[in-house]
A and B are shown apart, each in its own frame.
Chain A
Amino acid sequence: MPSDSGAILPPKVSAGSDFGRNRARADSRRVALDLTKFFLVVAAVAGLLAVGTERLGYHWQWYRMPRYLVRIGDGGWRPGPLLDGVLITFKISGLSLILCFSFGLVAALFRLSHSYLARLLARLYVELIRNTPLLVQIFFIYFVLGPVLGITRFTSAVLALSLFEGAYAAEIFRAGILSIPRGQWEAARSLGLSTYKCYRAVILPQAVRHVLPPLTSQAISLVKDSALVSTIAIYDLTMQGQAIIAETFLTFEVWFTVAAIYLIITVILSILVNVMENRLRVTG
């Protein structure tokens, strides 16, 4: 860490010595102080926000929020509109994720192939997708390809998201495949395996270790980007939020809740990425 490298480094002391113990105590006191300061600042910002907006004529009504998460009726509880939205978000993200892996893998294999046309197509696909906004792609697929192919709103959304993330997944797969040492190829070839068998039995199983963590990061992006399908009126979490606001004007409460739900989903996925990175770390 260069953060403390400006200062002259303290002499290394063993934890057992008196000096070391005092230092450790001073350190933990400083950590406690820093933590307190941090939570004070967070509380101050939240307080300022609450008081400031109240003064400018915004009435906080958090007590009206729970019913949009869970409806409690006579027959137990049912998910409210926001949780319904979460389900749709999951459904779209899940389907897109599977499709995006296939698009990504095919594009990566095409880019690494001998074939001239395959390379060209893969290159065109990746460049076209990565150089235009996702929102424009969603509109393009919904307004242009939708009527041409006769696909529904939901299919358009899944197709747009998976094509978009697929272009990024393609680069991840390509990097993963290229990271396998050349010797593996040569060994597989000398065993008389065909290109398909090389990939299937030797290269891809090894590449999985390299590509899984970044692909999971891609899944996080996918969940976040899926918020954009609300623009073509798919009732995912974001759209449900907008609908509730249109009905109740609980602008900030709803958006903070929606943001918190997204945050929970993405943070859980991030933790998963960390665990996976540690587990799958390629040694040697």
Chain B
Amino acid sequence: MRKPAKFTRLDAILLLLTALGALALGYRIKVGLHYQWNWSAIPQYLFHLDPATGRWAPNLLMQGLFTTIRLSAWATVLATVIGTLAAFFRISSSLFKRMLGRTFVELIRNTPPLVLIFIFYFFVSDQIMPILAIDQLVKTASPGTRQVLTWLLAPPEQLPAFLSATVTVAMFEAAYITEIVRAGIQSIDRGQFEAAAALGFSRTQQMWYVILPQALQRILPPLAGQFISTIKDSAIVSVISIQELTFQGMELMAATHLIFECWITITALYLILTLTLSLAVSRLEQLLRRGLT
């Protein structure tokens, strides 16, 4: 029951207020702060002409953006695996497994991500990474492998930190994905279980051949939405010096003092990224819905 929009008295008041607000802001920036805008300095931090190769290459901000995307993508993949396992625990018939699953989800969802990141990161980077000896592995790798690693994950010198951050982000996104997967499986009509059981399928076969294919259609859209959330949440890892978009923004601000331009650009970059993905998700939803009918 959407009412048609029209021009009302409220519009006039709002127009006046926004215009006045914009004027006041502009006045404050120009006269109060004597701020010198310098937008022409920003593009070189997106892409620059690499003097070594003579080709255009992504600079600080774009590198940060790519790191954000890579980090979020790997974290989502890892979180989906952990989350699916935890979801099976959550819906298990054994009370023991259900309690384990529930504890995992509640513990993570009730603590601030920032605190979790500090705990996990210190734990993973201080205690687990030395055991895995990623450093050694990367140092002894061939140039080709290093190239691939750089492209898929992060430059070799940043690899241990990148992996720690990915695991950290994945751990807390997993708690949210657990609930998505659980809801997806539980939304399947119980008759499907009974029909599969009547055909003599074992519990694993029921899940694998009957339930999961149906649940997947319902899980995919919220899962894609969670990927967008991960991109936004991944901004937090800038506090543990992972060189993603927010961190690069801080660096650039410190180096150039182009405070306003910097943060407007960073915000715009995030906005472009998430809005594009939202559009893709709604397309995906449409496709899936069409597939169902």
Write the residues of chain A forming the contact surface with B, with a CB cutoff of 8 angstroms. 1-8, 30-31, 33-35, 37-38, 41-42, 52-53, 56, 58, 113-119, 121, 127-128, 131-137, 139-140, 143-144, 147-150, 182, 220, 223-228, 230-231, 238, 241-242, 251-252, 255-256, 258-259, 262-263, 266-267, 270
Residue contact A259 to B115, C-beta cutoff 8 Å: yes
Known: A116-B11, A148-B28. A262 touches B99 (CB 8 A): no
Q: Identify which of A35, A121, A131, A263 contacts B274 (C-beta below 8 A).
A: A131
Residue contact B235 to A136, C-beta cutoff 8 Å: yes
Chain A hits for B126, CB < 8 A: 56, 58
Stretch in B78-86, B141-149, B258-266, B281-289 touching the partner: B258-266
Q: Given the complex of chains A and B, what is the CA–CA distance between A147 and B199 in angstroms?
A: 70
Chain A hits for B96, CB < 8 A: 33-35, 37-38
Give per-residue flags for B78-105: 1 if the beta carbon is below 8 A from chain A beta carbons, else 0.
0000000000000111111011100100
Q: How far is the CB of B213 from chain A (nearest CB, A)?
A: 15
What are the 8 tightest A-B residue pairs by CB atom distance, in nearest-first order?
A227-B112, A133-B235, A34-B95, A34-B96, A115-B10, A266-B110, A131-B274, A116-B5
Residue B152 interfacial (CB < 8 Å): no
Give per-residue flags for B260-281: 1 if the beta carbon is below 8 A from chain A beta carbons, else 0.
1001101100110011001000
Write the residues of chain B forming the contact surface with A, with a CB cutoff of 8 angstroms. 1, 3-8, 10-11, 14-15, 18, 25, 28-29, 32-33, 91-96, 98-100, 103, 106-107, 110-116, 118-119, 122-123, 126-127, 130, 185-186, 188, 190, 193-194, 196-197, 203, 206, 211, 231-236, 238-239, 246, 249-250, 253, 259-260, 263-264, 266-267, 270-271, 274-275, 278
Residue contact B94 to A34, C-beta cutoff 8 Å: yes
Residue contact B114 to A238, C-beta cutoff 8 Å: yes
Q: How far is the CB of B269 from chain A (nearest CB, A)?
A: 9
Q: Given the complex of chains A and B, what is the CA–CA distance between A211 and B100 in angstroms?
A: 31
Between A and B, 19 residue pairs with Cβ closer than 8 Å are: A1-B186, A3-B93, A6-B203, A7-B197, A31-B95, A113-B10, A114-B5, A114-B8, A114-B10, A116-B11, A117-B11, A118-B10, A132-B232, A132-B270, A139-B250, A144-B259, A144-B260, A147-B33, A266-B111
Known: A131-B271, A135-B236. A38 touches B259 (CB 8 A): no
Residue contact B127 to A117, C-beta cutoff 8 Å: no
Q: How far is the CB of B210 from chain A (nearest CB, A)?
A: 10
Q: Can you name 10 extra interface pairs (CB under 8 A) apart from A136-B263, A262-B112, A270-B110?
A: A5-B193, A6-B206, A34-B94, A35-B99, A42-B103, A127-B275, A132-B274, A228-B114, A238-B112, A259-B115
